[in-house]
């Protein structure tokens, strides 16, 4: 068996020609280097722009604590809406209970969850429904009405109110300033 060596001046099959020809392609008219950006340079710029975009979005949204706050408020609103829907669908009263001190809640169909300890939780509602001292409850009836109430989830200066209308049982989510 003999091994073949390729010389740099001899074009290999499919490589675009001789070294002189490749050099000529890199050079523009008048012997100057052709202008443009390499793929690597373009990818680097795109990656930098993406990283700056993520940092800007993170700063504008309030960072991790802001995302945690918003997520917790949306979860509470969703569970309250679910309890109302279950009351209408089953024709039976459904109760949503919250314990602000323990940062826990329980709702329809045995659903339950926790609120991050880094957030402040407060409840305003009918005292007659309090299962225990310091806890709160909102009852939803088979016609969609409720006892009403407000759950506020706060972090530093920002807060979200989850309001439940007593007459219609409608659940609304609204961003507000935190109570001090």
Tens digits of pLDDT across the chain (180 residues): 555 555 555 555 555 567 766 666 666 556 666 688 899 999 999 999 999 998 887 777 666 778 889 999 999 999 999 999 999 999 999 999 999 999 999 999 999 999 999 999 999 998 888 888 889 999 999 999 999 999 999 988 899 999 999 999 999 999 998 766
Contact 101/132 with Cβ under 8 angstroms?
A: no
**β-pair partners for 137:** 97
CA geometry: angle at 144 spanning 138 and 147, to 5°?
30
DSSP one-letter code for 30: G
| Cα–Cα distance, 12 to 153 (Å, whole number) | 70
The pTM assigned to this predicted structure is 0.66
Residue 113 has which token pair? 């969850």
* Residues listed for the chain: 180
Q: Give, as one character, the DSSP assignment of residue 29.
A: G
What structural domains and CATH numbers belong to the chain? 40-177 (3.55.40.10)
């Amino acid at each position: 068996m003999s091994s073949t060596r390729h010389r740099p001046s001899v074009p290999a099959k499919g490589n675009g020609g001789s070294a002189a020809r490749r050099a000529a392609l890199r050079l523009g008219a008048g012997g100057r280097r052709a202008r443009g950006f390499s793929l690597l340079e373009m990818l680097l710029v795109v990656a930098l722009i993406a990283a700056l975009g993520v940092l800007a979005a993170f700063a504008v949204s309030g960072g991790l604590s802001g995302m945690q706050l918003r997520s917790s408020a949306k979860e509470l609103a969703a569970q309250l809406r679910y309890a109302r829907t279950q009351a209408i669908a089953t024709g039976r009263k459904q109760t949503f209970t919250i314990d602000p001190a323990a940062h826990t809640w329980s709702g329809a169909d045995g659903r339950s969850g926790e609120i991050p300890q880094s957030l402040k939780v407060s409840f305003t509602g009918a005292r007659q429904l309090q299962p225990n001292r310091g806890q709160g409850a909102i009852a939803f009836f088979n016609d969609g009405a409720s006892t009403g109430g407000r759950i506020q989830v706060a972090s530093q200066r920002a807060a979200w109110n989850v309001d439940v209308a007593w007459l219609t049982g409608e659940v609304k989510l609204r961003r507000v300033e935190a109570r001090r």
